[in-house]
Structure 1
Amino acid sequence: MGRRSRATAAVLGGEALRLFFPLAALHAAAWPLLWVAVYGFNLPLARTVPPSLWHGHEMLIGAFGAALLGFIFTAVPEWSNQDRPRGPILFVLAGLWGVGRLVGLLGADVLGGLGALVDLAWLGAIVVFLAFTAVRLRAWGLRGFLFWIGALWLSEAATRYGFLTGDLQLARTALWLSVLAFTAVLGLALARITPPITNRILDPDLRSTPFRPHPGRRNLGPILIAAAMVGTILGASAAVEGFLLIAAGAAYMDRSAEAFIGRAFFRSEVLALGGSSALAGAGLLLVGASRLALPIPELAGLHLLTMGGLGLGVLSVFAIAGKLHTGQALGLEAPVKGAFLLLVGGTLARVAAAFGLADPSLLPPLHLAGALMWAGAFLLWLQQYWPFLSSGAGLDVRTAPSEP
């Protein structure tokens, strides 16, 4: 490696988000385009596991998994006032994550065991890190993240077991549980991120805290997600699952009400964070309605939840944390606002395709348009933020921690 490459590697290894957010953005941009435009909804080496299951798994554990690595290993040290992991440990985790993505890239069933080992290893590292931090520092506020990422680890283990044994029903159920676990993590993350960001916007000098969220909204969404997961695990009827999902969706929709804070509502950061909750809630409502046998395709709700709710939440964290951790003030540039719009547009195109709201001959262009807009959103963010993330700007800056 040349001197410049070594310097860039040192910067990327200095903070988890500098390494994993760009990896997540690249994977989120590339995978849907490969899935739609190159593979044509197929995978070259998929034999036992249906390509659609590989696709869902790679979006969750691939793109959102890298975002989770960057978020936890950056935010938790900040919240608990401890040194952040850096250097070799981050590159080892990135290597494990990357091996899993190489297996998923081709849908290589024959290498499923290797993929399972590496993905469970880096997910397990997050769980161990959270548990160690919570116990050593008595940071009991991390219990929610520990519980839900532990649930994600168990869901991933069950998914991989279903892949390896050919138990596709188990794999589908476990992958759905992974979606719910990620949605609960989103709820916990928004509960921590939204108040301090909103207060920074309302009072840039941080002399007061004019925004104080309703305590009943803090964990209601994840609690109702837990109820829905219990229903799925216990084999509840489709109708019972539907009502539980509608309840959880209503909680996320209610959470988005916190975005209405006067004129500052129109700030892109506020709209993005509130929009993430709203899209996640709307997706849960649609999936719930589908389980109640209403004429709504479940695939539409699933994409609204994952592409819209989780996707916009991830991109919001990328944009906001990327600003604060590179020594910049809040306030997003026009290209980043455009990225938000592209992501929502791509989501709506995919939802429209699932609903069949176009002539059948237009469905392939709708899929392609959705993939292109989704990819463009993450690439626009990466183009804007890469110079700051890779240069080391603000590397020693610590943002104000949220409440414990």
Structure 2
Amino acid sequence: MAATTAERMRAWTGPAILAYGFRPFFFGAAVWAALAMALWVPMLTGQLSLPSAFDPVSWHAHEFLYGYLGAVVAGFLLTAVPNWTGRLPIVGWPLGALAVLWLAGRVAVAVSGGLSPLVVAVIDLAFPVVFALILLREIVAGRNWRNLIVLGLLAVFALSNVLFHWEAAQGGYAAQGHGLRLGLGAGVMMIAVVGGRVVPSFTRNWLVRRGPGRLPVPPMQRFDKLALLALLAALLAWVADPVHAATGGMLLLAGGMHVGRLARWSGERTLAEPLVTVLHVAYAFLPLGALALGAEILMPGGLGMAGAQHLWMAGAIGLMTLAVMTRATLGHTGRALSAGGGTVAIYGAIMLAALSRVAAGVWPEHAAWLHGLSGLAWIAAFGGFAVVYGRLLLRLPAAKRV
């Protein structure tokens, strides 16, 4: 019986993509993000329609948030939890079965027009429910109580998907419903909690090797906890009432505190290595989104609600997940932790996608071509990841193949 993570992976002799949790879910997430956007651009112009019961905007929002982000979170946690708990990773056909559950959800939502809402919801929710139960088992067996907060956020994320399906089944515009806001809020909190650990830690590790100078403040100090509480309160208010003045004020406060939090992590010293710098840039979209939404609530007419919201969706979530996927893939396939030209181009493309989408809210008279530019840049970013990193995800290192 394999006794270590390395032995468990070496014992697997099947397809390389099933050798570790990040492989199928990072590759699947990138391919789906590019494909879903390639479908969405002609849907936006009325040139294509899917046999989905969701309206086009709700399908787009659902598949980015619950389809794409759900896969990235699974890939990250299936890779990180064995390190957190000391337990063996899930590999092989059980991992493949989990990936098939995720894929079944994407198909069910896309063709939901011919299925009952209950059947669609059951198929789509099977993956997050099974995944959450697996994580619960690992955390409890490993007595890793510190990371129950991550499981809690995942449970809220799954619950928000239930609410999204219910709102869509009632004939509502789910893309602007409570489910979407709750799911996006859970995603933002995941970045704040997990990103708040890894960004200063990875930055410190890299800067220590560079020589003397200012280092990041260690994570989860008192100020960090206050900033997280302020963000949680603001997000709950936003989910409950996204246009109330008090919500706007709370978002501005939380955004300001997270600007201060980010400033404590010495990001200005990382410019020589884009693989580290991108973590700081991605995290910066979190307070930018909070500040933009708060300002839009209190003084409407700037970016527009949708534009401000995309600072979180395309900016914080899009860039942070790409940053995590590139770094984790390099690290777990034995490559140097350094961004090459292709990786830098991927980062640039996703930032162009996010900023173009936000600009469409500022200049609505140019929205058509800005939406198109944003979509093409998004496809380039995730299609680029699938091409550049696919060879690492779909093949095992030479030592493993011997």
TM-score bin, normalised by smaller chain: 0.7 to 0.9
Partner residue of 1:364?
A: 368
What letter matches 1:284 in structure 2? A
Partner residue of 1:305?
A: 312
What letter matches 1:336 in structure 2? T
Distance 1:203 1:241 in 2: 40
Q: Do residues 328 (structure 1) and 332 (structure 2) align?
A: no
What letter matches 2:387 in structure 1? Q
Find the partner of 1:155 among 157, 160, 167: 160
Partner residue of 2:273?
A: 267
What's the Cα RMSD here?
2.7
Partner residue of 1:63?
A: 68
Structure 2 residue runs of 5 or longer lacking an equivalent are 1-11
Cα displacement (A) at 1:126: 2.9
Is the CA contact 1:28–1:375 (under 8 Å) kept in the aligned structure 2?
yes
Is the CA contact 1:265–1:271 (under 8 Å) kept in the aligned structure 2?
yes
Deviations 1:303-325, CA, capped at 9 Å, x for gaps: 11110111000000011101100
Partner residue of 1:119?
A: 124
- What SS does structure 1 have at the residue aligned with 2:51? coil
Structure 1 residue runs of 5 or longer lacking an equivalent are 1-6, 397-404
Partner residue of 2:249?
A: 243
When residues 87 and 223 of structure 1 are mapped into structure 2, their CA distance, relative to the original with a 3 A threshold, is farther
Cα displacement (A) at 1:334: 0.8
Distance 1:271 1:217 in 2: 22
Superposition misfits of 4+ residues, deviation over 6 angstroms: none
When residues 110 and 247 of structure 1 are mapped into structure 2, their CA distance, relative to the original with a 3 A threshold, is farther
What letter matches 1:295 in structure 2? G
When residues 286 and 205 of structure 1 are mapped into structure 2, their CA distance, relative to the original with a 3 A threshold, is closer
Find the partner of 2:397 among 385, 393, 402: 393
Q: How many residue pairs get matched?
A: 384
Find the partner of 1:379 among 373, 383, 388: 383
When residues 254 and 116 of structure 1 are mapped into structure 2, their CA distance, relative to the original with a 3 A threshold, is farther
Distance 2:340 2:16 in 1: 24
Deviations 1:320-348, CA, capped at 9 Å, x for gaps: 10110001121110110011111101111
Is the CA contact 1:346–1:371 (under 8 Å) kept in the aligned structure 2?
yes
When residues 267 and 129 of structure 1 are mapped into structure 2, their CA distance, relative to the original with a 3 A threshold, is same
What letter matches 1:224 in structure 2? A
Is the CA contact 1:217–1:254 (under 8 Å) kept in the aligned structure 2?
no
Partner residue of 1:94?
A: 99
| TM-score of the pair, normalised by structure 2 | 0.87
When residues 111 and 250 of structure 1 are mapped into structure 2, their CA distance, relative to the original with a 3 A threshold, is farther
Partner residue of 2:346?
A: 339
| TM-score of the pair, normalised by structure 1 | 0.86
Partner residue of 2:89?
A: 84
Is the CA contact 1:180–1:225 (under 8 Å) kept in the aligned structure 2?
no
Matches within 5 A, 1:156-235: 156-168=161-173, 172-204=177-209, 211-214=216-219, 215-216=221-222, 218-232=224-238, 235=241
What letter matches 1:269 in structure 2? L
What letter matches 1:376 in structure 2? A
Is the CA contact 2:200–2:265 (under 8 Å) kept in the aligned structure 1?
no
When residues 129 and 251 of structure 1 are mapped into structure 2, their CA distance, relative to the original with a 3 A threshold, is farther
Distance 1:39 1:108 in 2: 18
Q: Percent identity?
A: 26
Cα displacement (A) at 1:8: 9.2
What letter matches 2:351 in structure 1? V
What letter matches 2:354 in structure 1? T
Is the CA contact 2:282–2:315 (under 8 Å) kept in the aligned structure 1?
yes
Is the CA contact 2:102–2:127 (under 8 Å) kept in the aligned structure 1?
yes
Comparing 266-275 with 322-331, which one deviates more in the overlay?
Answer: 266-275
Distance 1:64 1:304 in 2: 15
Cα displacement (A) at 1:167: 4.5
Is the CA contact 1:54–1:107 (under 8 Å) kept in the aligned structure 2?
no
- What SS does structure 1 have at the residue aligned with 2:143? coil
Partner residue of 2:3?
A: none
Distance 2:73 2:399 in 1: 20
Deviations 1:61-87, CA, capped at 9 Å, x for gaps: 111111111011111112222211111
